[in-house]
Structures are given as structure tokens and as C-alpha cells.
Amino acid sequence: MAKRLRIKTEFGKRAVESKSQETKEVYIISIASEGKTEEQYFDGIHDMDTDSIVKVERLEKLNEDDTKSHPNHVIDLLDERKEFWQEHGVEPNELWMVVDRDKQNVSEDQLNNIINKCNKEGYNLALSNPTFELWLLLHIADIEEYDLEVLLSNPKPRSSSKKRFIEKELSKKLGGYNKNKIPFDKFRPGINNAITRANKLPVENITLKNSLGTSVCILVKKLISRHQTTKH
């Protein structure tokens, strides 16, 4: 397999400091995702706690011109990272894939194959239907504010704007929204609210193939819980 992966510098080189003299096992969570929005979000989650024994690796493409963002290509990054750890005699703790349902580009058969591959390889899948922006919206808005069918269809506006409904809502509530430069500080205070709101919707990936919801809450809750645990 041709190498497509590099580890984000800040994640890969930060030392894990222990407050005691005992050597603590580092718990490694590697995350591969489709786009810059997800990458920036998990950069922000990581930077909330730089002293944790939980090491979050955000896997990114070696070449910035690499346009392979389909979930089938995202899985390649996890395959490559798993191979690296096994070559060094380590079984990775957790490998996570963060992707959108994206009915326009991913067929149900393709998604079924992705879910089956994740189950076979022991990868965890954080799936959002329709997009990761739903997870972001849950940080700042109650789901009861919306027609769930409109959120699921996430329609394009009749205007010349390229932003679909959920992006437009984020822009309205935040006073502007650019998916290539998200304001993590505006989402951070609402993380626990987002987890609670997401759990009012389906979180099982099989159900999320055709239903509104996101299982990103499972990954984020895990990260937040581990950060809080290591501070006590």
C-alpha cells in the first residue's frame, strides 16, 4: 500500500508528562477523517488537555494535493496506521474513522462495506447523517428548534450560496461560518450539551445509514471522560 499518511506534528511530538514518578501507560486514540472541519475540531479537543495520558493522533494526508476524501480512502489511513503499530509490536488502543453519510457520494452498499470493514478490522466508526456540521450545530442549538426532515435532507438554498441548510444555520447563529476555519472556542462550551442532544437521536451506525443523527458523540464523550479522569 502506497504511503499516504503522516501524523500531525503537535500530536506526534508532545511529551506525555506524569505527575508521579511511576511510568504510566499512554492510551493512544488515532483519528482519521474526511475534511478540514473534522480535523480542526479534533485539534481543539486535543488542545483542551495537553497533559493527559490519552494521546490523540490526528491522522492527515502526506500530500496536501491528495484529494481522496471518500470514506473508502479514509479507511486506508487507518490501515496504514494499524500496520505501523503492529510493525513496532504494539496493538493500537483505538482507531477511529470520522465520516459523513453523504448520500450524494456514498451509496448504501458502499456504506455497508465500510461498516463491515470497520467491524472486521476493529475500527470504530463515528458517522454523521447528513454531515459533521449536524454535530457542530448540536453544540449551539436545541434539536427541538428544527424540522428533523429538513435537517436530514439538508437542502441547498435557492440562492447562489453553496452552503446547505445546516451550514446556513451555523453561519446565522455564529455570525458567520467557514468550514475550513471553524471557531472551536465557540463550540467548546457546548460540548456536553451536544453529547446530550445527540443521544436524543439515533447513535447506532446501522440506523444512521438512513436516519438523522451522529455517533461522533460516542468518541467525544470518551475523550472528554478520559481527560476528566486523568485530572483526579
* Type of residue found at 55: K
**Mean local confidence (pLDDT), 114-135:** 94
Q: Are 26 and 53 contacting, i.e. CB atoms less than 8 angstroms apart? A: yes
Of 50, 70, 210, nearest in space to 129 by CA: 210
pLDDT digits (tens, 9 = 90+) for 6-33: 555 443 333 334 333 343 456 778 888 8
pTM above 0.95, yes or no: no
Tell me which of 175 and 87 has the higher pLDDT. Answer: 175
pLDDT score recorded for residue 19:
39
pLDDT digits (tens, 9 = 90+) for 51-87: 566 677 787 766 665 555 678 888 888 888 888 888 8
Domain boundaries, the chain: 5-10+26-230
**Mean local confidence (pLDDT), 206-222:** 95
pLDDT score recorded for residue 29:
83
Cα gap 51→29, rounded to integer Å: 15
